[in-house]
Amino acid sequence: MTTVATVGTSATDIEFHYDLGNDFYALWLDQTLAYTAARWDGIAPGEPDATALHRAQLAKLDHHLDLVGAEPGGGARLLDVGCGWGSLLVRAVATGRAAEAVGLTISRAQHDYLGRLGLPGVEGRLESWEEYRTERPYDAIVSVGAFEHFATAGMSRAERLAVYAHYFERCHGWLRPGGRMSLQTIAYDGVADGSGPVGEFVGTDIFPGAQLPRLAEIAAACDPYFSLTVLSASAEDYARTLASWSGRLLRAREEAVRLIGEDGYRRYRRYLRASEVTFLRGATTLYRIGFERRDQPLKLSV
Ligand SMILES: C[S@@+](CC[C@H](N)C(=O)[O-])C[C@H]1O[C@@H](n2cnc3c(N)ncnc32)[C@H](O)[C@@H]1O
């Protein structure tokens, strides 16, 4: 099957990033291969890095499953839009919070990895959210760290709003009445807009084609389809996750250089450190948002 992401980051750009090889990412992510901010509440700064990162990643996954009401043993049908290597799908099924967990990704390496796991109840699909169709409604939808790829750099605010509204409309269509959804995304804060050397480096060398949203855009785009039930912001959660990844990559330097070369290794170290600084400076932040599906979409102009 081929993937077509007609808006947002293209499959080619996604592959530029994610298809560097699962072994490379496994060197510095935790064992779930979660590649988004963890949730560090209650994890002491002195805890050994490997267990601390893993515990914080599991806490993040459980937080999203709580937000969508996927209770342990509840056996929900769950969709993960932008599932990466499947950390949330695996957690949801292993804890009985989901009986059936379907994930969309546009990275072939991630899709193939998930297929090789061969877990009952877990289905990875190499498909963009724009293409995805299903006849069977979901109880819950989670999306963690994919929204940043739904629009592209260079779009006007009106174009971004149209794409985001389209996404929320699709989620509304996939969910059963009363269904819940959660979203985790990086967003610009303050006057930041991605211009400047760090934004340009990340936009060219690391995540070509990505575009961060602003909170007001998410709020306006979801409004016809969802009521917003929970909103939290934590730049610290991403800064601490990036610091942890950065330290782990440094310690795995030799193997990383063997896998992606000296230039690639330096590029990733620079990206992790530079991104940490944007969170510490308050130029970017991290939102976790809970939503409840409106029974009937409202006739609002976005
Ligand atoms: C930063 S990763 C996050 C993965 C995972 N949610 C996690 O927390 O580790 C972004 C994911 O979004 C996916 N993605 C980007 N654009 C997409 C699209 N249009 N449709 C579906 N998935 C998309 C990528 O393939 C990738 O799996």
Query: What is the tens place of the pLDDT at every residue in 49-92?
Result: 879 999 999 999 999 999 999 999 898 999 999 999 999 999 99
The answer to whether the annotation marks 284 as part of a ligand binding site is no
Of 198, 185, 202, 209, the closest CA to residue 285 belongs to 185
Query: Under DSSP, is residue 43 helix (H, G, I), strand (E, B) or coil?
Result: coil
**CA–CA dist 260, 34 (Å, integer):** 20
* 131 labeled binding residue: no
The span from the CA of 270 to the CA of 139, in Å, is 40
**Selection from 145, 149, 126 nearest residue 184 by Cα:** 145
Question: What's the mean pLDDT in 248-265?
Answer: 95
Distance from Cα 69 to the centre of ligand 1, integer Å: 22
How far apart are the CA of 155 and the centre of ligand 1, in A?
20
- Closest residue CA from atom 4 of ligand 1: 84
What's residue 36's pLDDT?
A: 98
Does the structure show a pLDDT above 80 at 178? yes
Phi-psi group of 125: left, alpha or beta (phi > 0 → left; psi -120 to 50 → alpha; rest → beta) = beta
Question: How far, in Å, CA of 195 to CA of 200, rounded?
Answer: 6
For residue 192, the CA-to-ligand 1 centroid distance in Å is: 23
What number does the ligand 1 atom closest to the CA of 8 have? 19
Residue 81, marked binder: yes
Q: What is the CATH number of domain 11-19+32-233+282-290?
A: 3.40.50.150
Least confident segment among 71-75, 142-146, 157-161: 71-75
Ligand 1, atom 23: closest residue by C-alpha: 82
* pLDDT tens-place string over residues 5-23: 567 777 776 766 666 788 9
Question: Which residue minimizes the CA distance to atom 11 of ligand 1?
Answer: 82
First to last CA, the chain: 34
Q: Judge contact between 104 and 127, C-beta under 8 A.
A: yes
Q: Which residues line ligand 1 (CB under 6 A)?
A: 5, 8-9, 14, 34-36, 81-84, 87, 104-107, 110, 128-129, 144-146, 149
H or E, element range at 193: none
Atom of ligand 1 nearest to the CA of 7: 19
Asked if residue 82 belongs to a known ligand binding site, the reply is: yes
Centre of ligand 1 to C-alpha 9, Å, is 10
Nearest to 144 by CA among 98, 82, 87: 82
Centre of ligand 1 from the C-alpha of residue 83, in Å: 5
- Determine phi and psi for 245, rounding to 5 degrees: -60, -40
Q: Please state at what angle helix 49-67 crosses helix 235-251, rounded to 10 degrees.
A: 140
Residue 262: which residues within 8 A CB-CB, separation 6 or more? none
Residues 37-60, mean pLDDT to the nearest whole number: 93
- Our separate counts of H helices and E strands in the chain read 10, 7
Q: What confidence category does residue 4 fall into, taking pLDDT thresholds of 50, 70 and 90?
A: very low
- Burial group, residue 166, by CB count within 10 angstroms (0-12, 13-18, 19+): middle
Q: What is the pLDDT of residue 1?
A: 38
Q: Of residues 83 and 153, which shows the higher confidence score? A: 83
User: Considering only CA atoms, which residue is closest to atom 27 of ligand 1?
Assistant: 84
Ligand 1 mean position to 150 CA, how many Å?
A: 9
Cα-to-centroid distance, 86 and ligand 1 (Å):
10
Which pLDDT score is estimated for 2?
37
Alpha-carbon gap, residue 4 to 131, rounded angstroms? 8
Copy the structure tokens of residue 189.
Answer: 């804060």
Query: Per residue in 181-225, pLDDT tens?
Result: 999 999 999 776 767 777 766 666 666 678 999 999 999 999 999
285 burial level (CB within 10 Å; 0-12, 13-18, 19+): buried
Atom 10, ligand 1: which residue's CA is nearest? Answer: 146
Q: Which pLDDT score, from 0 to 100, does residue 24 have? A: 95
pLDDT digits (tens, 9 = 90+) for 96-107: 999 999 999 999
Predicted confidence at residue 151, as pLDDT, reads: 94
Is 70 exceeded by the pLDDT of residue 228?
Answer: yes
- 84 labeled part of a ligand binding site: yes
